[in-house]
Amino acid sequence: MCGIVGAIADRDVVPVLIDGLKRLEYRGYDSAGIAVVDGDDVRRVRRTGRVAEMEAAAAQEGFNATLGIGHTRWATHGGVTETNAHPHVSHGVALVHNGIIENHEQQREKLRAMGYEFESQTDTEVIAHLIHSFLAQGADLLSAVQQAVRELHGAYALAVVSRKEPGRMIAARMGCPLLVGLGDGENFVASDVSAIVQATRRVIFLEEGDTADVTRASVAVYDGNGEAVQRDVHISDVSLASLELGPYRHFMQKEIHEQPRAVGDTIEAVMDNGAFSASLFGEGAADVLRDVEGVQILACGTSYYAGLTARYWIESIAKIPCSVEIASEYRYRDAVANPKNLVVTISQSGETLDTMEALKYAKSLGHAKTLSICNVPESAIPRASRLVYYTRAGAEIGVASTKAFTTQLVALFTLTCTIAKLRGVLDDATEASYLDALRQLPGSVQHALNLEPQIVAWSERFAPKQHALFLGRGVHYPIALEGALKLKEISYIHAEAYPAGELKHGPLALVDEAMPVVVIAPNDALLEKVKSNIQEVRARGGEMFVFADADSQFGESEQVHVIRTPRHVGVLSPIVHAIPVQLLAYHAALARGTDVDKPRNLAKSVTVE
């Protein structure tokens, strides 16, 4: 969601802001803007559309300054217009905001009564006027921001500058990510490190309620009570290569093809260890995991489907109950907590607001056994969790998650086996066979990627369709769900997934020759059942696209097309079968000419409700 970058230096910061916004564009891309402090003036340029359009406008107007802030927007309050784009300005104070201010209407009324006029429909503009109202009472910029945020309900990450104080930039965070980058005689703020990695790798992650007073030569951080605090300095290991497209056409394509490496990196610790071990999940993990009575998984979107897949593993291998719930539902219902259960949150960014709030709610109900599976070190969710397993997918830029999903599955399988072992229900021979399956997984994923030419041929038949059905059974049903999600989010073809056994209870009514039906059907205990379901579709004239594996015998016909992964990989089969459905969605989207990495209305790192 919205991306923030700010810089203060003794060089022109405009290229830093523009470059940073381009790297943050995956977080939001409906409009972009920058504001710079130039002499005793604040100048801004904003444009709807992509950063490149705003960049051209800034170049035309000759923007050049040593202090500035920038923003890419994903609108929540107010349409996609230039007046709603950030930065918002009030009497020489400019700010950029990520988040939602829930009491913006009350604040707006109060500020209107004080004489402030509003030009936008955003919740953000109230913050600019509120800060100015405190400056007008004599506060300096830091104190004005600190007083203003105390009046706000909701979530925010802010970067603020003022023409009256051209030597400083104030940052503040509550509920949305924000970090300070430490340079040499120059400093930065950003939503994530990718925006500033070309300038510095030394970063301070602001904590909830923090404000930071950033000058060229210093950074002072204050907690929510206004007390000066020391926050650790981290050295980011984000690689520049992971942020570049390289020879690929899209980040999604690159990230799909990185999966053998991503999966290999994620299992490395298990392989080095030579066994499933609680130590993989952090200090004291054995004590936390040993006696768990059940697992409650909380997540959103693709991560939720990873959780649904894990439920099959956890109940069959670790032999404890597992429930999986969408985080935004769990956080608002009266849940009954069993503190002996393990709460597992899954989030690629580690900043997903709904998941974070669900975790806080679970903790408030007495859940102390918490574990997060995340891809971004030092992000908010792992910091709020007792245990963590970091997937090592590397930066995921494409809005549609791919390598994060498969690596989450690896982490969840590792967790399953670890709990099973601690509970004494995983014998040595089975452990060895699972370790071997994991060891072979990068190769199996590569074999699935090699199916791409056949999938390209299928995708051309998909491109003209309006709707598609995805079917799976058992542990492959969540893969059908993920396939349908991928297809709809990037190709805009309406797609739904059903457990294959549900077909006759309703969705079969939709099947005709215009409705392609994708079936995930590797050889497992339910294969014969799936085959019967395929016959039911065939009898109604439906055209089927079946992803099978070497062991599942299928008769092909004009109506039934089959692509086989070259080997049957047993328990890890859902991970391998995630690959062809990703490729199908990618190539269908390409054939339809959509913006694959930046699908309409979406954004990455969902930091608003």
Give 74 or 390: the residue with its C-beta nearer to ligand HGA: 74
Give 3 or 516: the residue with its C-beta nearer to ligand HGA: 3
Give 2 or 445: the residue with its C-beta nearer to ligand HGA: 2
Q: Which stretch binds ligand HGA (CB under 6 A): 117-125, 362-370, 420-428, 473-481?
A: 117-125
Distance from C-alpha of 381 to C-alpha of 323, rounded to nearest angstrom: 20
* Residue choice 24, 100, 411, 590 for contact with ligand HGA (CB under 6 A): 100
**Shortest Å distance, C-beta 50 to ligand HGA:** 16
Residues 60-99 that bind ligand HGA (CB under 6 A): 73-78, 97-99
Burial of 466 per CB tally in 10 Å (0-12, 13-18, 19+): exposed
User: Is 251 among the residues that bind ligand HGA (CB under 6 A)?
Assistant: no
**Shortest Å distance, C-beta 191 to ligand HGA:** 9
Angle ∠(183,188,194) on CA atoms, nearest 5: 95
Question: Residue 16 is which amino acid?
Answer: V
- Which is nearest to 561 in space by CA: 600, 517, 522? 517
The three-class DSSP label of residue 419 is helix
User: Is 594 among the residues that bind ligand HGA (CB under 6 A)?
Assistant: no
The set of catalytic residues is 2, 604
Q: Which residue is listed with tokens 């309900």?
A: 153
**Shortest Å distance, C-beta 356 to ligand HGA:** 14
Distance from C-alpha of 47 to C-alpha of 51, rounded to nearest angstrom: 8
HSE value, Cβ hemisphere, 13 Å, CA-based, for 384:
26
Give 125 or 482: the residue with its C-beta nearer to ligand HGA: 125
Residues 14-43 that bind ligand HGA (CB under 6 A): 28
Q: What DSSP line would sit under 558-603, residue for residue?
A: SSEEEEEESS--GGGHHHHHHHHHHHHHHHHHHHHT--TTS-TT--
Any idea of the CA torsion for 56, 60, 65, 69, to the nearest 10 degrees? Answer: -40
**Shortest Å distance, C-beta 211 to ligand HGA:** 18
**Shortest Å distance, C-beta 187 to ligand HGA:** 23
* Residue choice 124, 187, 211, 582 for contact with ligand HGA (CB under 6 A): 124
User: Is 122 among the residues that bind ligand HGA (CB under 6 A)?
Assistant: yes
User: Is 608 among the residues that bind ligand HGA (CB under 6 A)?
Assistant: yes
How many residues at the interface with ligand HGA, by CB under 6 A? Answer: 18
**Shortest Å distance, C-beta 606 to ligand HGA:** 8
Give 46 or 132: the residue with its C-beta nearer to ligand HGA: 46
User: Is 165 among the residues that bind ligand HGA (CB under 6 A)?
Assistant: no
HSE value, Cβ hemisphere, 13 Å, CA-based, for 407:
32
Is the C-alpha dihedral spanning 103, 104, 105, 109 positive or negative? positive
Distance from C-alpha of 97 to C-alpha of 90, rounded to nearest angstrom: 14
Give 175 or 260: the residue with its C-beta nearer to ligand HGA: 175
**Shortest Å distance, C-beta 35 to ligand HGA:** 15
HSE value, Cβ hemisphere, 13 Å, CA-based, for 39:
3
User: Is 123 among the residues that bind ligand HGA (CB under 6 A)?
Assistant: yes
| E strand or H helix that includes residue 71 | strand 67-73
Other CB atoms within 10 A of residue 325 CB: 17
Distance from C-alpha of 50 to C-alpha of 32, rounded to nearest angstrom: 7
Give 408 or 607: the residue with its C-beta nearer to ligand HGA: 607
Partner residues linked to 97 by β-bridges: 158
Nearest residue relative to ligand HGA (C-beta): 1
User: Is 48 among the residues that bind ligand HGA (CB under 6 A)?
Assistant: no
The site for ligand HGA (CB under 6 A) is made up of 1-2, 28, 73-78, 97-100, 122-124, 607-608
